[in-house]
Structure 1
Amino acid sequence: MTWLRRNLPGLLLAAAVASVATVAGKALPVVGAPVIALCGGALIGVLGRRSVSEAGVFAAGLALTRQRILGAAIVLLGLGLPVGSVLEVGRQTAVVLFGTLVLGAVAAVILGRMLALDRDSATLVAVGTTICGASAIAAATAVIKPEKERVAYALGTIFVFNIVAVLVFPPLGRLLGLSDRAFGLWAGTAINDTSSVLAAGVIFGPAAAHFAVIVKLVRSLMIVPLCLGLHFTRRGTGQTKLSLRQSFPLFVVLFVLASVVAGTGIVPPTWLAPLGGLSAWLIAAVLAAIGSALTWRQLRANGARPLVFGGALGLILAVGSLALQTATGWT
């Protein structure tokens, strides 16, 4: 009872902000629920700093949300990624899809060093840009546990260039004479969040939107090697040495199992949309909790370099994806 009394106010606050953000995100898909939740949490943190501080009534529940909910949200994402149905699209688009990912990874390393970004900021912006926006940032956050302001800045960077992509990609795709499938492949490999991929696809055409989302789902599977790579490159940096079993992120294994389960057809198709919605809602709750702990001073300390990094990386991915499509006859 003591645990419930201590944590319930903060849990309910995060849930309320996530619910409002989810509704608002549907009305404003270009912005999306993750960014709205983060901004809502930040607003609460500004207006009620005492209530969300370490001694505040909401503090314990918000801290619990930040620390424990991310893994569950990522696992639920796997139920929307049936392995069998995405493997065929992955086979057809492998050169463009994986070529773009490799290009993004190499560019991220080079640009990060040129801009002298701190390691966590570079990692979060890079995974958000090259893989799947807020979901990839959430997964990386669960593994590397960066400072909260770095997560917020990375999400803000992704948000800015999502809007640019939705506005620029459809008219540019028409100017270039791309087919529906070619535009879907371009959007699915070069735009960050699924909501923005869908928005750009819908503007271009229904067939483009459908194919873009499938490509984006295939791209999202890269969350698995992402988390594995981050785990093995970071686990030796701490002072306390843990065994692989102790330190390996369990949610990665559960994510893969969920994807396999989705591919067997055991999960009724009517459940997939609600489960995906629950995952998105949980991510929004986590971001609301992260936002509540932010201060303007913390964000200002990051400077403009992560934003420049995200913009340059997004441009490289967009141009690189088009070049690979041209080389493989996808245009």
Structure 2
Amino acid sequence: MDMEKAKTLFLKCRSIQYLLDRGLTIREILFWLTAMGCLLPGMTAPIALSMGLLFANLLGHPYTKTGSKATDYLLQFAVVGLGFGIGAEQAFYASKEGFSMTIIAIACTLVLGLILGKFLKIEQKTSFLVAVGTAICGGSAIAAVSPAIKARQHQTSMALGAVFVLNSMALFLFPPLGKFLGLSAEQFGTWCAIAIHDTSSVVGAASQYGNEALKIATTVKLARALWIIPVAFLSAVAFGQGKGKIKVPYFIGLFILAVLANSYLPFVKLIAPFIDRLAHMALCLSIFLIGCGLSRKLLFAGGLRVLGQASILWIIIAGLTLLVVAL
């Protein structure tokens, strides 16, 4: 055995020994116990988010370096899993009904967002990221467009912080508002999909309104999320960055495959309820992890002006969408 191989083997042995000898801290034990609580029957998205927020701001997230990627993968699994509970005809109908409203909402949000940003004297790229996050799908859209326009880290953080604050509020506000206004499952699902930023909050809010609302909201939301691709390309051109670097949401394709499999493959229908249940559990756990990542520093990174822009924009778009849906 040569020296290089011996050195590699030695390092592997040391890393394994480190894992075996390393004990869990009290914070990590509490984290895992709380996370397992999110898998219990009756757990809802607002409760999971509240647990995450409290844990992050009282005890601190023990896995800050790896938590973000784990959350993304878990949420994507949850969304794809929900596809096994949706029929192809229902998905096509929901996408068709929400298509025109999605285009109008995206265009109006981007224009209004830039106008508000200029009025509030916010950096153009920060203002644009807030508008993109509100128009399409929150943090995912911001993460996709940021490298395309070569935004700086503090600009991305400010936009993410503002959007995450409003996402958290949506989980608590939308379901009781929908019930108070007497919205049907179809109306509420469409409203959620257009008016709430992140996929996690859309699915979390709709899940409290019933299975029908959840199916409609998930389908319309993912159809809306596809606009990340053209908007990111156009953003790169508008900001003089050429094609830039764009993150494509590939999990949307897996969601479509799950819907088709559930509709046309008989054996899939036998296991679909089990996958759907796992998806709901994964959703609650991912929302808990999202809450764990929302420290005070991130939530208020943008200050009052950026939060003000995001809030005004969100209220206008949510209000106008509600009027259209309710008519």
Q: Paired residue for 2:166, among 137, 154, 157?
A: 157
Quote the offset at 1:186 in angstroms: 1.1
Listed as ranges, the gaps of 5+ residues in structure 1 are: 46-51, 53-57, 128-135, 202-208, 324-331
Question: 2:303: which partner in 1?
Answer: 300
Question: 2:76: which partner in 1?
Answer: 74
Q: If the length of structure 1 is used for normalisation, what is the TM-score?
A: 0.65
Over aligned residue pairs, what C-alpha RMSD do you find? 4.1
Query: C-alpha deviations, 1:52-78, integer Å up to 9, x for none?
Result: 7xxxxx4xx312222454144214411
Query: C-alpha deviations, 1:205-259, integer Å up to 9, x for none?
Result: xxxx443233223213326514434553466779898888xx6455455454455
Q: How many residues align?
A: 280
Question: 2:56: which partner in 1?
Answer: 41
After superposition, the Cα gap between the structure-2 partners of 1:273 and 1:166, relative to the gap in structure 1 and judged at 3 Å, is: same
Q: Which segment drifts farther, 212-221 or 234-243?
A: 234-243
Q: Which segment drifts farther, 214-223 or 258-267?
A: 258-267
Question: 2:315: which partner in 1?
Answer: 311
Question: 1:274: which partner in 2?
Answer: 278
Written as runs of structure 1 = structure 2, the 5 A alignment for 1:98-109 is: 98-109=99-110
Between the two proteins, what is the percent identity of the paired residues?
14
**Counterpart check, 1:291 vs 2:300:** no
- The answer to whether the 8 A contact 1:124-1:154 is kept is yes
Written as runs of structure 1 = structure 2, the 5 A alignment for 1:209-224 is: 209-222=210-223
- The answer to whether the 8 A contact 2:144-2:228 is kept is yes
- The answer to whether the 8 A contact 2:142-2:159 is kept is no
Written as runs of structure 1 = structure 2, the 5 A alignment for 1:1-331 is: 2=15, 15=32, 18-19=35-36, 26=43, 31-34=46-49, 36-45=51-60, 58=62, 61-67=63-69, 69-82=71-84, 85-93=86-94, 96-116=97-117, 118-127=127-136, 136-140=137-141, 143-144=144-145, 147-173=156-182, 183-191=184-192, 192=196, 193-199=202-208, 201=209, 209-222=210-223, 225-229=226-230, 231-233=232-234, 248=248, 250-263=250-263, 264=265, 265-266=267-268, 267-288=271-292, 290-292=293-295, 294=297, 298-301=301-304, 302-323=306-327
- The answer to whether the 8 A contact 1:103-1:317 is kept is no
Helix, strand or coil at the partner of 2:82: coil
Listed as ranges, the gaps of 5+ residues in structure 2 are: 1-13, 118-125, 147-152, 197-201
| 2: CA distance, partners of 1:144 / 1:17 | 34
| 2: CA distance, partners of 1:39 / 1:168 | 24
Rg comparison, structure with higher value: 2
Query: C-alpha deviations, 1:19-41, integer Å up to 9, x for none?
Result: 456669936x5x35235424532
Quote the offset at 1:119 in angstroms: 1.9
